[in-house]
Chain A
Amino acid sequence: MAESWRRSQWRNGLFALPFLVTFAAFLVFPLIWGFWLSLHKVDLFGPGRFVGFDNYVKVLRDPQFRQALLNTLIFVATTVPTLVALGLFLALALNHLTRATAFLRGLFFASSVLSVTIVTLIWRIVFIPNDGLIALVFDHLGWAQIGFLSTKGWSLFSVGVATVWWCIGLPMMLFLAALQQIPVDHYEAAALDNANRWRVLTRITLPAIRRTVLLVAIIQVVMQFQLFGQAQLMTNGGPAGSSRPLVMYIYEVGFIRWEVGRAAAASEILFLIILCAAMIQYVVATRNQEGV
């Protein structure tokens, strides 16, 4: 009896095997291999040469890397709060089912389905000088033109706008799902308790969906640190690298300059940053929760 039980327990592990194999092959192994690569000077030819942490030092000293890091930090620090706030706002506004809200929910989510190519195509049409949508509007209003994709500062901003538009569907849906979980009678009790709309939002709704806010923020931080396609296709990192994100730097170092070891080192740094950002958020948020 005990023997067969133990054996069946061991066999149960087999059900997890396909996942574990995939996990190991596509996540653990590349991570380790990437780390191994980052300790070597590797190019396309030859086996590579062990250089210790030399790649890391070189990367950290590279002004292009620092610029890309700063760009990425600014991008994450602006898009993530926007995505959380806007997603929450849309969810609150659409949190009752009518034909109009159902249509709008679908509309806001629809952009998430598009590939990055289509998204950037659409936003290039909006931002492009002379014939772009904004250019036409500015013309009409008699305002001075802004080179949204070719001006320092504006180029990263434009990439951010396109990104928010592309990614807003998931936060909205997650917030909507969380809002639906709040029992109606909490709101009824609040109505009998004379709570105004602001008090209901801050004392009933937000505390109830706090975990989802955290989840959305972490997902978005992880996603937005990996910005690449939009920047590559809309501005190509320009002008003068002012909209070049970290992943694009890694791509250029690894696949254009073929300094694979150095690209791997930059990747490991990005990985560490994302890991830390997510952990800090989680720790801060859960500690708050205990305190209140």
Chain B
Amino acid sequence: MSASIEIRNVTKRYGGLTVLEDISLSIAAGEFVVFLGPSGCGKSTLLRMVAGLEALDGGTIDLGGTRIDTLPPGKRGVAMVFQSYALYPHMTVAQNMGFGLENIGMAREDIARRVTAAADVLEIAHLLDRKPAKLSGGQRQRVAIGRAIVKEPKAFLFDEPLSNLDAALRGRTRLELAQLHARLGSTMIFVTHDQVEAMTLADRIVVMHNRRIEQIGTPMEIYRRPATRFVAGFVGTPAISILGVKAAELGPRGLTVDLGSAGVLQTRLQLPVAVPAAGGLEIGIRPEDVTVVPPGGDGIPARAEVVEHLGERTLVYARLPDGQQITAEADGRSTLRAGTEVKLRLDPDALHLFAADGRAFHVDAGGYDG
């Protein structure tokens, strides 16, 4: 039932404003792909072009080997779950779910069978005779998903379907969506600006920013080997710390960076010749790679400005003598308090190096992979 999706050189303009430029992307059959990016980067627009709700200004979209961007929405074999759910307010839950099947002239018994089956899966069988106004937010959400399931589409499209739920429900629904995908094995595209949703649900994440795709990769690739400074900064909570590089020198063992008051670090980073070893370079380091040294130990001096005791770990937002901010992690049992002086140690092999143009370099394999 699932089908691959091929997006080729797709461009979208609103008047003079280009929202998406030359986007290309292949999605395998049965894959769960998440479009991740800040608000306004064009995620919904791209999804709606797959659905047929927006016209393309260039490029093509194939679904299961058939070109669909010239077909009307209903003929594409996709189902969409809207952020607002878009349930028909005067129809019952059963009518909402069956409407699409009625429209293609399916027999009543077949519709009833599919609706009942989907309602059982989603545990909304007892709600079938209710109108949407009499449902809670979470129940409406299930109906919207049910309306998509009964169509047995080649691909599911989700536009921020969890953003109207409260935190607890969001977590649970996220899990259920993952289970649903595992069971149906359908191709799914899921749009979100929430990186936790993206990290937990996706087979692959498509990070979008500024009209373009910044990076496509598995959640771990995106986190461990961000292709650009933007991706590194967008993914990960608390955010990666960025420090300016005063000077850098490429030696036989790798790059040595002078981080000013954060010290001089010898890394195993190898740089392609094209990148100038000085000027506009920055490094990024994640909080878990910056540790607070126990009292008496040796490290970079900093001042803890905010300390968050989270139980399993302690987050320390510190300021270096030259004014730069850095986030560090300490043991969960730490009794550290804000305002105290701490010593920090940076893991030199966990550094990400950012060139002036935003490209990122990493230690393990080195080089550029954007």
A residues with CB within 8 A of B? 183, 185-186, 188-196, 199, 203-204, 207-208, 292
Question: Would you call B100 and A194 a contact (CB within 8 A)?
Answer: yes
B75-98 CB contacts (< 8 Å) to partner A: 75, 78-80, 82, 84, 86-91
A186 contacts B86, CB within 8 Å? yes
Number of A-B contacts (CB under 8 A): 60
In the A-B complex, the 8 residue pairs with the smallest Cβ-Cβ separation, listed nearest first, are A194-B74, A193-B100, A185-B86, A207-B90, A194-B103, A189-B86, A191-B73, A192-B73
Known contacts A188-B82, A189-B86, A191-B53; is A203 also within 8 Å of B100 by CB? no
B142 to A: closest C-beta gap in Å: 16
Complex Cα distance A189/B143, Å? 13
Q: A183-B84, A183-B86, A203-B91 are in contact. Are A192 and B103 (CB under 8 A)?
A: no
Considering the complex, give the chain A residue whose CB is closest to the CB of B159: A185
Check A191–B72 contact: CB distance below 8 A. yes
Given A183-B84, A185-B84, A199-B103, do A192 and B90 touch, yes or no (CB 8 Å)?
no
Residues of B within 8 A of A (CB): 51-53, 72-75, 78-80, 82, 84, 86-91, 99-100, 103-104, 147
Cα–Cα, bound, A204→B103 (Å): 13
* Complex Cα–Cα for A189 and B103 (A): 12
Nearest neighbor of B82 in chain A, beta-carbon distance: A185
Who on chain A is nearest to B95 by CB? A203
Q: Report the Cα distance A191→B52, complex, angstroms.
A: 9
Q: Name A186's contact: one of B51, B72, B78, B88 (CB within 8 Å).
A: B88
Residue on B nearest A200 in the bound complex, by CB = B103
When C-beta atoms are compared, the residue in chain A nearest to B83 turns out to be A185
Q: Is the CB of B51 within 8 A of A189?
A: no
Q: Which residues of chain B have C-beta atoms less than 8 A from A195's C-beta?
A: 74, 99-100, 103
User: Do B100 and A196 touch across chains, with their CB atoms under 8 A apart?
Assistant: no
Please, how many angstroms separate the alpha-carbon atoms of A183 and B86 in the complex? 8
Chain B residue at minimal CB-CB distance from A207: B90
Residues in chain B near residue A204, CB distance under 8 A: 88
* Complex interface: chain A residues within 8 A of B103 (CB): 193-196, 199
Distance between A56 CB and nearest chain B CB, rounded to angstroms = 44
Name which residue of chain A comes closest to B80, CB basis. A192
Q: Please judge, given known A-B contacts A191-B53, A191-B72, A193-B103, whether A203 and B88 are in contact too, CB under 8 Å.
A: yes
CA distance A27 to B52 in the complex (A): 57
Contact indicator B74/A193 (Cβ below 8 Å):
yes
User: Of A188, A199, A292, which contacts B90 at CB under 8 A?
Assistant: A292
| Residues of B close to A186: CB separation below 8 A | 86, 88
Inter-chain contacts of B72 with A (CB < 8 A)? 191
Shortest C-beta distance, A67 to chain B (Å), equals 43
- How close is A210's CB to chain B, nearest CB, in angstroms? 8
